[in-house]
């Protein structure tokens, strides 16, 4: 987006919001150089610290935790006169939601009436389908990826269990969904950063945007459609953690009003900036059924048949 005036032009582009857990606009030139080495040198990347993971090791290529929009003002001659972040942080790395185990406690208190849950991660959920009648089904839950099992939906990210884990076990499933982005790669920003002499912070080098359509309908929705029906039969709930920008991209979802009536509990987080870092904070909980969640993720209302057929005629007229 660009806004022009006789003396200047303002452009809004998405760039790095947080880098290895630190707000990009708070970094000094020395900080940027150190993190740039970690982001672009494989042997250094494992040394970069992630303040959100239990092992403090960043496992995301490039180390970018989140995006944000930047307002870039240029003089009519083309030189930058100012770069400043505007708007909310958009979560790129799902590990970002692990800050201080806040989400774990929030979900467990809401769905399990438990403040300190036990945590099991990457729990197998799908069996290998039986190829034919009479197949040997021993060892169906192999740790190795098998033909016919899509590992992208074959496991539940995290299961929270209320201690003590006696029978009947009290637990809920938890999925964290960050966002992908499309457009210019971060490598372009890294190249610009390496030669940046200032003043101020280097602006984003290209156009990119959060791709909520790929992250929601194409990634998260199949996960929910496969997992939630089984959880519902078992009487268990699915918690989904997203940030405010992701939740704001969804269509309206009629609320279930009470935990007992929901299939999915959306735990929406926001970020509060202070002292050079952004702190994760609870924002809201939205309870829905699976059917309403699918409508929200689809984020569209079908045209009437007559409208659709008019569009067919228009296409045929322009192509013929």
pLDDT for the residue 76: 63
Helix axes 290-298, 221-234, angle to 10 degrees: 170
pLDDT of 225 strictly over 80: yes
In this prediction, what percent of the chain has a pLDDT beyond 70? 84
Ordered by start, the domain boundaries in the chain are 2-93+181-210, 95-128+147-177+212-298
pLDDT for the residue 96: 96
In this structure, what DSSP letter does residue 287 have?
E
Structure token pair of residue 65: 């935790």
Q: What is the DSSP string of 35-80?
A: HHHHHH-HHHHTTSB-SSSTT-B--STT-EEEEEEEEEEEETTS-E
pLDDT for the residue 46: 56
Of 29-33, 207-211, 221-225, give the lowest mean pLDDT range.
Answer: 29-33
> Strand 155-161 vs strand 118-124: parallel, antiparallel, or unpaired?
antiparallel
- pLDDT mean over 7-27: 90
Q: What is the DSSP string of 179-190?
A: -EEEES-HHHHH
pLDDT for the residue 256: 95
Q: Residue 225 in contact with residue 290, Cβ under 8 Å?
A: yes
Cα-only R_g, the chain: 23
What is the Cβ-side half-sphere exposure of residue 225, based on CA atoms within 13 angstroms?
A: 12
What's the mean pLDDT when you consider all of the chain?
Answer: 86
Inter-CA distances, 63 with 17, 58, 60, 70, 117, Å: 11, 7, 5, 19, 29
Does 8 or 40 have the greater pLDDT score? 40
pLDDT for the residue 7: 57
> Strand 238-243 vs strand 171-176: parallel, antiparallel, or unpaired?
parallel
pLDDT of 294 strictly over 80: yes
**pTM of the predicted structure, to 2 decimals:** 0.83
Structure token pair of residue 107: 């979900």
Q: What gap in Å lies between CA 217 and CA 285, rounded to an integer?
A: 20
Q: What gap in Å lies between CA 102 and CA 167, rounded to an integer?
A: 27
pLDDT for the residue 45: 53
Q: Residue 193 in contact with residue 206, Cβ under 8 Å?
A: no
Confidence of residue 318 (pLDDT cuts 50, 70, 90): confident
pLDDT for the residue 194: 87
CATH architecture of 95-128+147-177+212-298: 3-Layer(aba) Sandwich (3.40)
Name the range with the highest mean pLDDT among 5-9, 41-45, 72-76, 111-115: 111-115
pLDDT for the residue 47: 60
Q: Minimal CA–CA distance to 175: which of 270, 264, 115, 291?
A: 264
pLDDT of 137 strictly over 90: no
Q: Residue 158 in contact with residue 120, Cβ under 8 Å?
A: yes
pLDDT of 140 strictly over 80: no
Of 36-50, 84-98, 189-203, give the lowest mean pLDDT range.
Answer: 36-50
Helix axes 186-194, 29-40, angle to 10 degrees: 130
- pLDDT mean over 308-317: 90
pLDDT for the residue 165: 64
């Amino acid at each position: 987006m660009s806004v022009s005036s006789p003396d200047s032009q303002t452009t809004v582009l998405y760039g790095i919001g947080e880098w290895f857990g630190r707000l990009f606009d708070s970094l000094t030139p020395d900080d940027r150089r150190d993190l740039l080495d970690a982001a672009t040198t494989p042997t250094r990347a494992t040394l970069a610290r992630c303040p959100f993971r239990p092992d403090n090791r960043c496992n995301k290529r490039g180390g970018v935790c989140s995006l944000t929009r930047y307002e870039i003002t240029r003089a009519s001659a083309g030189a930058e006169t100012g770069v400043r972040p505007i708007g909310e942080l958009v979560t790129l790395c799902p590990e970002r939601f692990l800050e201080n185990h806040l989400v774990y406690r929030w979900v467990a208190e809401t769905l399990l009436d438990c403040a300190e849950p036990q945590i099991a991660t990457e729990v197998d959920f799908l069996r290998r389908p039986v190829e034919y009648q009479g197949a040997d089904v021993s060892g169906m839950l192999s740790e190795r990826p098998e033909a016919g099992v899509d590992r992208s939906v074959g496991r539940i990210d995290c299961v929270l269990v209320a201690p003590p884990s006696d029978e009947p076990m009290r637990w809920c499933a938890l999925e964290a969904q960050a966002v992908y982005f499309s457009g210019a790669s971060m490598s372009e920003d890294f190249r610009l950063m390496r030669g940046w002499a200032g003043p101020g912070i280097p602006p984003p080098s290209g156009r990119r945007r959060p791709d909520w359509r790929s992250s929601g309908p194409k990634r998260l929705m199949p996960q929910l459609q496969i997992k939630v029906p089984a959880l519902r039969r078992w009487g268990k709930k699915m918690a989904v953690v997203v940030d405010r920008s992701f939740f704001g991209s969804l269509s309206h979802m009629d609320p279930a009003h009470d935990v007992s009536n929901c299939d999915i509990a959306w735990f929406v987080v926001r970020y509060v900036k202070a002292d050079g870092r952004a702190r994760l904070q609870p924002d809201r909980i939205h309870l829905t059924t699976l059917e309403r969640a699918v409508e929200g993720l689809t984020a569209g209302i079908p045209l009437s048949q007559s409208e659709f057929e008019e569009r067919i005629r228009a296409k045929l007229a322009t192509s013929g």
